[in-house]
Amino acid sequence: MRPKIIAGNWKMNLSEKEAIELAKGIRDQIPGIAKGKQAVIFPSSIHLAAVSRILEGSGVQVGAQNIYPSGLTAMTGETSPDQLSELGISHALVGHSERRQFLAESSDFCNRKISFLVQNGFTAVYCVGETLSEREAGKTFEILGSQIKEGLKSIHSHHFSRIWVAYEPVWAIGTGKVATPKQAQEAHAFIRKEIAGLFQNGIEIANSTPILYGGSVKPDNIKELLSEPDIDGGLVGGASQKIGSYAGLF
């Protein structure tokens, strides 16, 4: 059975005071209502230390929005998983569309990050998704297929217990335009089939890989999305950045 996961991506938002207040709110309100659900939040890197201290022992996990795939080295401006694990950070996002779009991150570079993360005990949350023009041109599955094949190539099957995928159609991110449960389910089922195709006996691996949906998830649409068989959780931006709406997702 795959867990239901409610992940919050705070992106480049919140002051230090706001991040600390939100983390305390999550610590005090989420565990009681999380029943059977897993909670993970991804604060900006500057707030990781403070937030992970607050959430230590709460059952809510903390992840980084980005990493550089290396141990300690001369790499100005980047963060190594080695530094993050010291803070109790267990998860990292890879390939968010904002980084693909505005920082030219390729699936190939994502592959290096995922590889490094899983070999170092982290869970990598690999984001994939098509843009509006790609969807309109009928290229959704082609794009998803190549993002999955390139991003997850040469990852050993035994490391897949530390891989989650997040389907985030770019046209649904921050736009209020949520994919219909049917559109999301169709994409998730396709992604699962692509994961299965990476290995000779890949069905079992694919069936145990959590696939989250992201893009304008809110308390009032999450239930319907999570009722689809291949949607295992949400990767939530805006609605995860206020305690009321984040708690409302559980």
- With CA atoms as reference, report the closest residue to 27 among 249, 247, 198: 247
- Does residue number 61 form part of the binding site for ligand 13P (CB under 6 A)? no
- Does residue number 210 form part of the binding site for ligand 13P (CB under 6 A)? no
Query: Of the listed 98, 105, 130, 168, which one is catalytic?
Result: 168
Query: Per the annotation, does 139 bind a ligand?
Result: no
Site for ligand 13P in 170-199 (CB under 6 A): 173-174
Helices (H), the chain: 16-33, 48-55, 81-85, 97-102, 107-119, 132-136, 140-151, 181-196, 202-207, 222-226, 243-247
* Binding window for ligand 13P (CB under 6 A); candidates: 116-124, 130-138, 183-191, 230-238: 230-238
- Dist. CA 193–CA 58, nearest whole Å: 35
Phi, psi (deg, nearest 5) at residue 25: -60, -45
Query: Per the annotation, does 88 bind a ligand?
Result: no
Binding mask 13-42 for ligand 13P (x = CB under 6 A): ------------------------------
| 14, 214, 230, 250: residue in contact with ligand 13P (rule CB under 6 A) | 214
Reported as type and span, the H/E element at residue 233 is strand 233-236
> Closest residue (Cβ) to ligand 13P?
237
Query: Per the annotation, does 238 bind a ligand?
Result: yes
| 128, 235, 247, 249: residue in contact with ligand 13P (rule CB under 6 A) | 235
- Dist. CA 48–CA 65, nearest whole Å: 10
- Does residue number 169 form part of the binding site for ligand 13P (CB under 6 A)? no
Query: Per the annotation, does 216 bind a ligand?
Result: yes
**Residue 16 catalytic?**
no
**Residue 134 catalytic?**
no
- Torsion (CA) 52, 163, 157, 231 in degrees, nearest 10: 140
| 81, 95, 202, 215: residue in contact with ligand 13P (rule CB under 6 A) | 215
The three-state DSSP-derived secondary structure of 28-90 is HHHHHHCCCEEEEEECCHHHHHHHHHHHCCCCCEEEECCCCCCCCCCCCCCCCHHHHHCCCCC
User: Which residue, 135 or 205, is less far from ligand 13P as judged by CB?
Assistant: 135
Tokens for 207? 């069936």
User: Which residue, 117 or 173, is less far from ligand 13P as judged by CB?
Assistant: 173
Q: How far is the CB of 41 from ligand 13P (least distance, A)?
A: 11
| 237, 246, 247, 249: residue in contact with ligand 13P (rule CB under 6 A) | 237
Strand, helix or coil for residue 154: coil
Binding residue positions for substrate: 9-11, 174, 216, 237-238
* Residues belonging to the active site: 96, 168
Binding site for ligand 13P (CB under 6 A): 9, 96, 168, 173-174, 214-217, 235-239
